[in-house]
Amino acid sequence: MSAADYEVTIGLEIHVQLATRTKMFCGCETSFGDDPNTHTCPRCLGLPGSLPLPNAKAVHFGLMMGLALGSKIAPRSIFHRKNYFYPDLPKGYQISQFDEPLCDGGELGGVRLNRVHLEEDAAKLNHAGGTGRIQGSDASVVDFNRGGTPLAEIVTEPDITSAEQASEWLRLLRVTIRQLGVSDVNMEEGSLRCDANISIRPKGQAELGTKTELKNMNSFRFIERGIKAEVARQVAIVDGGGQVTGETLHFDPRTEAITSMRSKEEAHDYRYFPEPDLVPVVITPDMIEAAKAELPELPLQREDRFIALGVEPGAARTLSWRPELGDLFEAELATDGSQPKALAALITNELLKRIGDGEVTDSKAAPGSLAQLVALTAAGTVSSSGARTVLDTLFASGGDPAAIVEAEGLTAMGGGDELTPIIQAALDANPDVAEKLRTGDMKPIGVIVGFVMKETKGRADGKEVTKVTRQLLGL
């Protein structure tokens, strides 16, 4: 069988560091990039006799996430100890949530959620030996600055069926959380981390195959490539008559190799039990109201609103999934709301092309000038190709669109009279094209339009050229 004969089933577990000032269970400041071990105390070092106390802001952020993701908020939830030995965990257990999480269920972008719960982050292990890689070094240095940072863990149901969908959905989740303002969701700095549970089964088979867990992929590209590599590995095993082993895997983006991290069976024997040092977290109606009051418009809601304005769905998605583009769109629309569809198209096609991998702020276009350019185009003052030239200038140095049209001689040409001699010249220069057009085969009309655009420096309107050409040929 080939890859096409298998169905892929993916569930994601996402850890998000919450943007609180202090840690989950102590008053040490959360930090990134500070000198190691400068944000520790007896509680986050797990010293005997110290007691945890949950951060109210982390609970508040958790509630905001749960409400935004359509989860059921538990009126009372409890913390559990998740026991395992690893040097990044000073107490020998992580305080997490188990069967009574803060938020139960939910849904985002067609993918069902199992839960959202709160827990504490582990410390950071720096592996001696220079390369920074785990293998091959025999000593590690533990930095407890990160240990105890509040995390929200979001677990999806296995509703994702391809690597591409996984990466696309994660983008949606990331921008949704970013809009909520509860995390800076920076994958490079590790404030958003993703594990994927992956299995395959022959098409039509009801029961799911054995899953493997691919750990800690820290960019969208790695997630897509990692999942693809793991699916290919599983297909090869099953095709060869073998069986997939349930295990935790590590994807090396450099070599694309997948290696086993540890025996999953043993590592997952966490012996959860209720954390005796903490009382249940009771969510009052006031706390829910406070979280609701801070919910912003979410990307999917914004997308729907843009579509209702007449914006093309693809453009609406780009604008709402890149909030800074959406903000620009709305600011421009506030100056002239007459052409939402064309304005959205200008921003998501032409402006975005000029921004490339840069930032929206790279554009020097003055506020309102994009809307003005769209209005000039709609009024026929400048052709669409002329408008692109104007945008080049707006992007590079700003200015007034109408003045640029004037200064660069981009005023759109009127119809017939002005165009007729140029089109005639185009037909004369391309007799074979003229012949084909005469027979009603309009395919080579592009040659004529191209000739005219070149002659007029893009001031002509393509539709008008076609119209006049037909008139000249008596069609």
Partner 1 sequence: MIDAKQVLHVARLSRLELEPGEVEQMATELSSILGHIEQISKLDLDGVEPTMHVVPIDGGLRDDEPEPSLPIEVALSQAPKANAEGFIVPSPQA
Does the footprint of partner 1 cover residue 425 (CB under 8 A)?
no
Residues with Cβ within 8 Å of residue 437, at least 6 apart in sequence: 444, 445, 448, 469, 473, 475
Q: Indicate the residue among 180 and 376 with the shorter CB distance to partner 1.
A: 180
**By CB under 8 A, is residue 187 in contact with partner 1?**
no
Q: Which residues make Cβ contacts (< 8 Å) with residue 41, sequence separation at least 6?
A: 26, 27, 28, 50
Residue 404, token pair as written in the block: 């640029």
CA torsion sign for 191, 15, 63, 164 is positive
**Counting contacts by CB under 8 A, is residue 76 touching partner 1?**
yes
288 part of the interface to partner 1, by CB under 8 A: no
Alpha carbon distance 222, 229 (integer Å): 10
Local structure of residue 193 (DSSP, 8 states): E
**For partner 1, the closer CB: 142 or 237:** 142
Is 311 an interacting residue with respect to partner 1 (CB under 8 A)?
A: no
Token duo for residue 345: 């198209």
Other CB atoms within 10 Å distance of the CB of residue 51: 10
Count of residues of this chain found to bind partner 1 when the rule CB under 8 A is applied: 55
CB of 1 to partner 1, least distance (A): 36
* Residues 242-281, mask of contacts with partner 1 (x by CB under 8 A): ------------------------x--x-x--x-x-xxxx
Residue with Cβ nearer partner 1 (119 or 143): 143
In angstroms, give the least distance from the CB of 354 to partner 1: 41
Q: By CB under 8 A, name the one of 10, 12, 14, 28 that touches partner 1.
A: 28
Cα dist. 411→163, 342, 468 in Å?
48, 19, 19
- Residue 26 is a binding residue for partner 1 (CB under 8 A): yes
Pairing between β-strand 192-202 and β-strand 124-127 as defined by DSSP bridges: unpaired
In the bound complex, what is the minimum distance in angstroms from residue 176's beta carbon to partner 1? 22
Exactly one of 32, 110, 134, 396 binds partner 1 (CB under 8 A); that residue is 134
When binding is defined by CB under 8 A, the residue of 3, 9, 13, 54 that contacts partner 1 is: 54
The residue among 55 and 199 lying less far from partner 1, judged by its C-beta, is 55
- The correct pick among 55, 94, 191, 393 for binding partner 1 (CB under 8 A) is 55
Binding partner 1 (rule: CB under 8 A), the pick from 4, 33, 35, 130 is: 35
Q: Compute how many other C-beta atoms are within 10 angstroms of the C-beta atom of residue 315.
A: 24
- Residue 49 within binding range of partner 1, rule CB under 8 A: no
Nearest of 77, 73, 78 to residue 105 by alpha carbon: 73
What CA–CA distances, in Å, run from 22 to 44, 60, 188, 337, 386? 11, 14, 21, 44, 54
> Both ends of the chain: CA-CA distance in Å?
56
Catalog residues that contact partner 1 under the rule CB under 8 A. Answer: 20-22, 26-29, 35-42, 45, 47, 53-59, 76, 78, 83-87, 125-128, 134-135, 137-144, 266, 269, 271, 274, 276, 278-282
